[in-house]
Amino acid sequence: MRPILPRRRSRDFSVPAVPDYTGLIVAIRKTSLTKRRPGQPTPRGLPALRIAAPWRLQKTRGLEILELAPLLKFPWLVHGFSTRPGGISPLESEKVLNLGFMEWDTREDVLENRRLFQAALGASDFELTPLKQIHSDLIRVFPQSTANPCKGDASATNRPGLLLAIQTADCVPILLVDPKKRAVAAIHAGWRGTLARINQKAVGRMQFEFGSKPADLIAAIGPSIGPGCYEVAAEFVTKFTAQFVDAADYFDEPRSGEEPNPLQWLNMKPPGHQPPPRNVHLDLRKANRSQLVAAGLLGKNIYVSDLCTACHTNLLFSHRREGPLSGRLLATIGIRP
Ligand SMILES: [Zn+2]
């Protein structure tokens, strides 16, 4: 069995509904524009886009939907991660598929984009059940949760005809499928949700609600900000180390190539004599993958997209890279009626 999780302090995660893509410290656009690891793509020239199997980019009706091949073998399942191209929302000089209600966009355009996206998915007859995301560990089970939209950061269902949806623009979107019980879940994991173990809790909730066995579950971890682009304050190391035994694996210092010992500053003593702690890079994908393994999923059933939202703003949206003039992606999953 899993160890009993340490109780969190409630105030840690009861945060207002503000974007947490950057944490509280690092300014928008600062990240990764100046500090990059050798080998990382240059910030201005976008790196070549490569969709690696088993992921694939399905072009349908002018839209491009990222799919995971192993999920396509279930004829009763519909899933897809939206991308930027297509759509009718005017953003600077282009039209984009913005699927979240942003200040720069109109409600009508967003609703029309959502219709286009559902049509391209072949899910026009599904009821879309987006959440009012609050960077929490709240999991909503549909159809019991009827408020529209419902506050929370994960949803689950075994009811056909509902299209679960998670909005992101750097945070980690995760889809879970139980092929045996025919149940699904969609999870939003930014740093707060990750720290609050929303992933593990969603697995637990599927077990409780649907009788899902973690070893049967398949996880699709969609495009999110990559570790090379997600620079956070050093205090994040403490936050995560206090919760996760393998937290050191999630972090790396921004490197110039001269430091032989990553996280060396952790050992500096005595207090009062250290230089100010340097920022670090956080690998949210690794943290979430590790959580799913700890929850009992098999490594071979967890698929992680290596697409970085901040590196590929030609295909995706990135709050870090684009600031308020960014759109929102939707990760969706549902059971065919
Ligand atoms: Zn990147």
Q: Separation of 311 CA from ligand 1 center, angstroms? A: 4
- Look at 259 and 315; give whichever has higher pLDDT: 315
Please tell me which residue, 96 or 6, carries the higher pLDDT value. 96
Query: Is the pTM for the entire model greater than 0.85?
Result: no
Q: How far apart are alpha carbons 47 and 264 in whole angstroms? A: 31
Instruction: State the Cα–Cα distance between residues 186 and 126, nearest whole angstrom.
Output: 15
How many whole angstroms from 321 Cα to the centroid of ligand 1?
9
Interval between CA 227 and ligand 1 midpoint (Å): 7
pLDDT at 77 over 90: yes
At 268, is the pLDDT very low, low, confident or very high (cuts 50, 70, 90)? low
Confidence band (pLDDT; 50, 70, 90) for 253? confident
Q: What per-residue confidence (pLDDT) applies to 274?
A: 62
Section 239-259 average pLDDT = 82
Whether the pLDDT of residue 264 is over 70: the answer is: no
Are 69 and 54 in contact by the 8 Å Cβ rule? The answer is yes
| 170 C-alpha to ligand 1 centroid (Å) | 10
Average pLDDT score over residue span 209-214: 98
Higher pLDDT, 277 or 171: 171
Q: Please say if the pLDDT value at position 332 is more than 50.
A: yes
Q: How far is the CA of 183 from the centre of ligand 1 (A)?
A: 32
CA of 229 to the centre of ligand 1 (A): 4
Q: How confident is the model at residue 262 (pLDDT cuts 50, 70, 90)?
A: low
**CATH (residue range 29-38+51-231+279-335):** 3.60.140.10
Q: What is the CA(115)–ligand 1 centre distance, in A? A: 29
Angle among Cα 238, 242, 247 to the nearest 5 degrees reads 75
Instruction: Flag whether pLDDT at 16 surpasses 50.
Output: no
The rounded Å distance from CA 124 to ligand 1 centre is: 33
Q: Do 26 and 232 meet the contact criterion of CB atoms below 8 Å apart?
A: yes
Instruction: Please state which of the ranges 23-37, 112-126, 150-164, 295-309 shows the lowest mean pLDDT.
Output: 23-37
Query: Can you say how many angstroms the Cα of residue 277 is from the centroid of all Cα atoms in its chain?
Result: 27
Give the pLDDT mean for 158-168. Answer: 97
Question: 130-165 in b/e burial notation, b at 16+ Cβ within 10 A?
Answer: bbebbbbbbbbbbeebeeeebebbbbbbbbeebbbb
- For ligand 1, the distance from its centroid to the CA atom of residue 271, given in whole angstroms, is 34
- pLDDT, residue 266, reads 58
Is-contact 164 173, C-beta < 8 A? no
Centroid of ligand 1 to alpha carbon of 171 (angstroms): 12
Rounded mean pLDDT, 204-219: 98
d(CA 253, CA 263): 6
Residue pair 205/236 in contact by the 8 Å Cβ criterion: no
List the single range of 89-93, 191-195, 220-224, 266-270 with lowest mean pLDDT.
Answer: 266-270
Distance 258 CA to ligand 1 centre (A): 22
pLDDT score, position 278 = 82
Q: For the segment 35-51, what is each residue's pLDDT rounded down to a tens digit? A: 334 444 444 556 678 89
Assess whether pLDDT exceeds 50 at residue 143: yes
Cα angle 306, 311, 316 (rounded to 5 degrees) comes to 80
How far is residue 299's CA from residue 103's CA, in Å, rounded to a whole number? Answer: 40
CA-to-CA separations, 262 to 105, 256, 289, 294, in angstroms, rounded: 42, 11, 22, 25
- Inform me whether the pLDDT recorded for 233 exceeds 90: yes
pLDDT of residue 101: 96
| CA 157 to ligand 1 center in whole angstroms | 32
